[in-house]
Structure 1
Amino acid sequence: MPAQQPLTAGLGLKAEHYTEALACQAPGLWFEVHPENYLVGGPRLAWLERVAERHPLSLHGVSLSLAADAPPDLAHLERLKGLAEHIQPALVSEHLAWSTWRGHYHPDLLPFPRSHYALRRISENIQRTQEALGRRIAVENPSHYLNVPGHDWDEVEFLAELARRTGCGLLLDVNNVYISAHNVGVEAGEYLDRFPAAAVMEVHLAGHHRDAASGLLIDSHSAPVSQPVWALYERLIRRIGGRPTLIERDDALPAFTALLAERDHAHSLLGQPPEAP
């Protein structure tokens, strides 16, 4: 692993861009991967090892299913711990969602009612995960497509309480906030203004698309970061200061240089001083 340096803006590492990612020397650059793609060894892991020699890495999981009605799979946690010990990532994160049911994995990150029961269960699952990995993780706010009934907690307060109870950090996805604002009536600026600054370990920025049939915004990661999301991001970092920020792109991949230009824009914004309290 390279000598520790402050993380500014990073990119999701894609196989199509391995060679350019390996050679890139942009200051503060780091890369994030889904660990599930690297748990079985082989050529992908060999490439990741090479990138880790030159750049800090982050592991962003999609399958721990922290909001499920059962603890995280112990075998998966053991494999994830092995990868983390091998790669020594700067950050490890997971989604506030569920994706497993009675031993079956589903291809979506599914919502849940923010009940008192869910708070206890998810807190226990986060604690189990952190104890198994021997490190703090960050939990990401979800994107919403419908109003789920049965909430006892406001989402920002729910996330803040999870961080308080477990010591976990939070991953603030600004695109998810913007999508939820459009789809279910969240006020995006007010959400960001209330988000607990001290708990934010990482920020995500991504693009989305509008579904023609429903009018919903979809968190597709298939387009550049939109101007409204950039504006919300600037509002956020003026309040909380700079945090490691990732440009996510998982579909309709452009050239590496196009992604790097978005990353460089985030990097330049992170150099601005926060507002005085």
Structure 2
Amino acid sequence: MLDTGSRALPAAPGVGYKPQHFAGIMADPGPVRWLEVHAENYMGAGGRPLAQLRALAERFAISVHGVGLSIGGEGALDTAHLARLKALCGWLRPASFSEHLAWSTHDGVFLNDLLPLPYTQATLARVCDHIDQVQEVLGRQMLLENPSTYLSFAQATMEEVVFLREVAQRTGCGLLLDVNNVFVSAVNQGFDPAAYLRRFPLELVGEIHLGGHAEDAADHGMPLLIDAHGTPVADPVWALYAQAVAQGGTRATLIEWDNDVPDWPVLRAEAGRAAQVLARAGARVTA
């Protein structure tokens, strides 16, 4: 049986942890009940980052979010990176571990981006093999996050929601629903995000992400949204989030803010807004 961590994530707001917020979180977390950290920031041998994380883990459930495994990459997974991830999860025993449905490596080069995949049978087999390997090495279930996309592939043979469901059914992994990614992809590719959510396998979702996006324009003048994580959650994304929890039930919900990071009270207020949506959906969460 795959381990799911020592503490389950509560169906309550969490935030992506930033070291400048350590004192504020410890003094007044507000509605925040759990924290997410990026795995690659905590693979060192010691120092202040690990000391702070150990202190936070005594008070909050922790979710570890990976950005470097390149689950969709054509090459083999980096076993040294996977070993470092195993060591981190071994001592931290997080409540959740997640990664992206994306690729970021080619011929031994790390591209520092999360790039989309064509949804084909070959891609499905490769992604499932990689997830099986991750879960076997870690001895725990992984959550797979839906991507933000800016183009579609002509060779795709299945829709994203079908692909995600098939991956989860084949591997036993869970899903991480990033609602902002749904909205960004919908605007960029011209589909209905509400209809996408109605077809999403919400029963497999262990965690929800909310974040901000940047607005731009493509060469032909059509709107182009960038998953930038540098602004408050947009109103249309809040509306989609309300639909998701009304449709599928409340889930642990993360506020992501990775660029132009605000002071702690601003981020805490975003978490408070998520708490209000959860409360209206029937969760026992108070802001």
Using the size of structure 2 for normalisation, the TM-score is 0.91
Distance 1:201 1:5 in 2: 8
User: 2 CA distance for matches of 1:77 and 1:150?
Assistant: 31
Q: 2: distance between equivalents of 1:258 and 1:25?
A: 12
Question: 231, 238, 241: which is aligned to 1:230?
Answer: 238
The CA deviation at 1:27 is 4.9
CA deviation vs aligned residue, 1:80-104 (integer Å, no higher than 9, x gap): 1111111111110000000011211
1:79 counterpart (80, 84, 88): 84
Q: Flag the 1:100–1:3 CA change in 2: closer, same or farther, 3 A.
A: closer
Aligned to 1:13: 17
Mark the CA change 1:211 to 1:35 in structure 2 (over 3 Å): closer, same or farther: same
In the alignment, the residues of structure 1 paired with residue 108 and residue 172 of structure 2 have an alpha-carbon distance, to the nearest angstrom, of: 28
Report the count of equivalent residues: 274
- C-alpha RMSD of matched pairs (Å): 1.7
Contact 1:137 1:168 in 2 (8 A): yes
Q: Which has the higher contact order (CA 8 A, sep 6+)?
A: 2
After TM superposition, where is structure 1 displaced by more than 6 Å over at least 4 residues in a row? none
SS in 1 for 2:280: coil
**Paired letter, 2:25:** A
Task: Summarize the Cα distance change of 1:104–1:239 in structure 2 as closer, same or farther, 3 Å threshold.
Answer: same
Compute the displacement of 1:43 (Å). Answer: 1.6
Residue 32 of structure 1, aligned match among 30, 33, 36: 36
Is this contact kept in 2: 1:5–1:28, CA < 8 A? no
Deviations 1:123-172 (A, max 9, x none): 00000000000000100000011222210110000000000000000000
The aligned amino acid for 1:122 is V
For structure 2, the residue ranges without an aligned partner over 5 or more in a row are 283-287
Q: Distance in 2 between matches of 1:197 and 1:5?
A: 16
CA contact (8 A) 1:65 1:98 kept: yes
Partner of 2:285: none
CA distance in 2 between counterparts of 1:168 and 1:5 reads 16
Deviation, 1:2, is 8.9
Identity rate of aligned residues, in percent?
A: 47
In 2: Cα distance, 1:132 partner to 1:21 partner: 32
Q: What's the TM-score, normalizing by structure 1?
A: 0.94
Q: Which runs of 5+ in 1 are unaligned?
A: none
